[in-house]
Structure 1
């Protein structure tokens, strides 16, 4: 028996009304600002015709909270599952045209349901945030809704990738769910994220500030480091998420999506020999090294605008997905400071959770000296890198390009932190401290008695480098797997990654280690 026509008509009419959200006039105002609707964002994200919506018919009119005659289509949030690049992913997209996208009980239940499904089914979870915050009329129940979302963020952590998109307002307690996720993408315009706005800060502290200073994409990406990627607009934001997912496994029980090639490219790259400046004091651009190691156009940098003295990101090397951590001598001489340590440690922890091999490129003179760094806890923050590398059980390959001194040598994944293979260029200096400082300690008396102090200093510096800082000395002590010419680097790294893909390492049983937070 066929279904009656009026039922089909009624269903389509109802769906059309729900899809319209807060109405065309509200959507038109947002389009004038260059913003997509909640559904358009999902359409841009998922493969065509693959999105299956959950809870479309949830419509909380809020009679019990004195909000009669205020229909809320889909309760202000669109949730569901679709495919991205042929692989499943779960997502929600808040609809700011419906009650400002504010979160209430049913709104949070829809989000929690899709998060539970992502965890149970082992698929990435993507949250598109555009909300006025907690629904005031629902009082403590809206706060409870946030708490339930936060709890699930923690349950999903380390099990499936979590990516947040800040595409509109994300203020107060609402900001903590994105903060609990793995990566955040924020649009350059029309979006803000903060705990206390300018008016609250003014009332509480007497300090005047602007939204640009505290809540903009620029502030969150470059100053606080809350945001990993800044997008030009909504479409670009969804493209970034798609690109990011292309490097990640579906869950922590799978390997990343390697695209292994049958014939490895092991030819020497002679251009690498020209990367290092002749003068060791001249800065070197580490991007030039990364570009020559990674497959063409495969490097996706993470956290580019925050702590640029260290570079982190994903790439492929002959198809193998790897997480790259590299000092950047062009910024702060490549020193490790508080922000760089936090940035690197977080990235290392993510890669380890999701079975992504680590490639570390080293050119580090030490931890950044200074009263502010010491008082800010550089010891504690630097220890995060030591903890992250030492606790990582994924393949760990290290290449020492130029200098690696003192504790920073260890913090950049030395053999002692169980790097599987450590290679060094002939230009590398591995020592307790730099040559100039060491000469002042070791040859103080000789320098004081010398007639030509400058010439004698240069002689001692070279002697120190030959005797105490040579990569061959480290290799003779088993700290270096091999000393290689720069032109061999890509081939050596490719083989090392291929040869460690099946690595399996167990650790002592425990609930969890205690990273120095």
Structure 2
């Protein structure tokens, strides 16, 4: 006697689950330019590697004889699969079933996905498309009672942030707990035209706040690419999946492993001639930091994170002779490269991310200090700046500082831990001190300038004297800077350093860092 009949019943239920919310709702979903939940999973994962768990979970309706007459699958699909042959957990909302809300969910499935990532010690990827929270008010009427809200599996969610890479994609109109799931991650991405992210949607905002906004105005890409709520913006769902794969390629599987080193075809001794003139002699002239980074790191290895938030600072991942590293650099076109409240938050979070997953950091410094002025004071820039500096000082991953030009004030001083070994190289364009001489001169010689018959002539005379004193070679004479290097030597020196850095990293494996998103 076999169990063939029961297996037939299993296959029947599996096929019903794959119909998702039904033909009409699937068609409506696709008309919005969105992939279905199963199409998303198939596109993201290596071909044929998805192993679904809980496929037949949902709500069945039965006749008097106990035969199933209808079935609505849970609107959350989960399981394991592989990305570039690395095993991951995937948890994805199905918007075609009750708009991805808790009304159509089997809560345990979402909790189980987080628990799997935690216990198997593998990355988790969330494809979020809906609220994922407590459901609509109609659900309260159906249940006949209300409840004190609890965020499902949040203990696992927070634990995962300390132990495995957590990645989220916002792939629709995402509100409430769904929005929290997107932001509670190490890397998040939105998609132009189809993604919106908000604490509460337009109708609630209209009735509660009197603000009449559509979905794009309230939480579209133009709002969030510079809000800091998400990291990156993609042009399509396929592009978003490429962002996810790229980010994951720099990450270890968990904190008990090292970041994956790959074989590089780029010469570690490559020296780019353009670097010798990359920094203009006139400090009032700007330059493009991203071009400098491209000349130093492995070809096509740079992946920027959070480009539009805190834009005076660049945070990215890259490789040196195949070794993943974190990169911090200034964008002097934005606030002259000063540390703003936003860029300070960005640096703090990025350094914490590198610390959590054992990525050495290369910090390119051209820092005029913390942003000044009334707007900066209103944002509490000093507090956020010192939080970023604290993250730098608390980090134990190997860190190398490359001084490109300015190192001034509290902000400049905080770009490396000056009380440790403090490995760093300075380019001959380096200039440093408590204040830039141009501004500091006005303060230090205020009385002399005010009493002078020709203050401009005196200003130029003093400026010339001070410029001689600020030569980086004067500092090197006193061993105030350890090495001044030819900029063209930067890549070979960093490729040598990164090998030493990776030899030290095994000592840190398994150390939990209290990462907060």
Q: TM-score, normalised by structure 2?
A: 0.90
1:352 is aligned to: 355
1:106 to partner: Cα distance = 5.8
1:212 to partner: Cα distance = 2.4
Instruction: Indicate conservation of the 8 Å contact 1:397/1:497, yes or no.
Output: no
Among 152, 160, 163, the alignment partner of 1:156 is: 160
Comparing 35-44 with 444-453, greater Cα deviation is found at 444-453
1:135 is aligned to: 135
Gapped regions of structure 2 (runs ≥ 5): 63-67
Instruction: Indicate conservation of the 8 Å contact 1:362/1:398, yes or no.
Output: yes
Secondary structure in structure 2 of the residue aligned to 1:184: strand
1:122 is aligned to: 121
1:264 to partner: Cα distance = 5.3
Secondary structure in structure 1 of the residue aligned to 2:52: strand
2:51 is aligned to: 52
CA offsets 1:165-185 (integer angstroms, 9 cap, x no match): 110121123322222211111
1:424 is aligned to: 426
Among 396, 411, 417, the alignment partner of 1:408 is: 411
CA offsets 1:332-355 (integer angstroms, 9 cap, x no match): 111111101001111110011000
Comparing 83-92 with 252-261, greater Cα deviation is found at 252-261
1:487 is aligned to: 488
1:221 and 2:225 are equivalent in the alignment: yes
Secondary structure in structure 2 of the residue aligned to 1:156: helix
1:108 to partner: Cα distance = 2.4
After TM superposition, the structure 1 = structure 2 runs for residues 262-341 of structure 1, keeping only pairs within 5 Å, are 265-341=268-344
Q: Distance in 2 between matches of 1:255 and 1:488?
A: 27
Query: Measured at CA, do residues 22 and 283 of structure 1 come closer, stay the same or move farther in structure 2, by a change above 3 Å?
Result: same
1:392 is aligned to: 395
RMSD over aligned Cα, in angstroms?
Answer: 2.9
1:190 and 2:194 are equivalent in the alignment: yes
Q: Distance in 2 between matches of 1:320 and 1:172?
A: 38
Query: Measured at CA, do residues 206 and 101 of structure 1 come closer, stay the same or move farther in structure 2, by a change above 3 Å?
Result: closer
Instruction: Indicate conservation of the 8 Å contact 1:349/1:388, yes or no.
Output: yes
1:23 to partner: Cα distance = 1.4
Q: Distance in 2 between matches of 1:346 and 1:46?
A: 28
Q: TM-score, normalised by structure 1?
A: 0.90
1:13 is aligned to: 12
CA offsets 1:43-87 (integer angstroms, 9 cap, x no match): 011111111101111113599xxxx987421x1111000110010
2:207 is aligned to: 203
1:311 to partner: Cα distance = 0.5
CA offsets 1:124-170 (integer angstroms, 9 cap, x no match): 11011112443235559997786123222111112001111110121
1:438 is aligned to: 440
1:240 to partner: Cα distance = 1.2
Query: Measured at CA, do residues 374 and 138 of structure 1 come closer, stay the same or move farther in structure 2, by a change above 3 Å?
Result: same
CA offsets 1:369-423 (integer angstroms, 9 cap, x no match): 121221221111101111110111111011110111111112222534x464111
Q: Distance in 1 between matches of 2:146 and 2:479?
A: 59
- Residues paired across the two proteins, number: 505
Secondary structure in structure 1 of the residue aligned to 2:242: helix
Gapped regions of structure 1 (runs ≥ 5): none
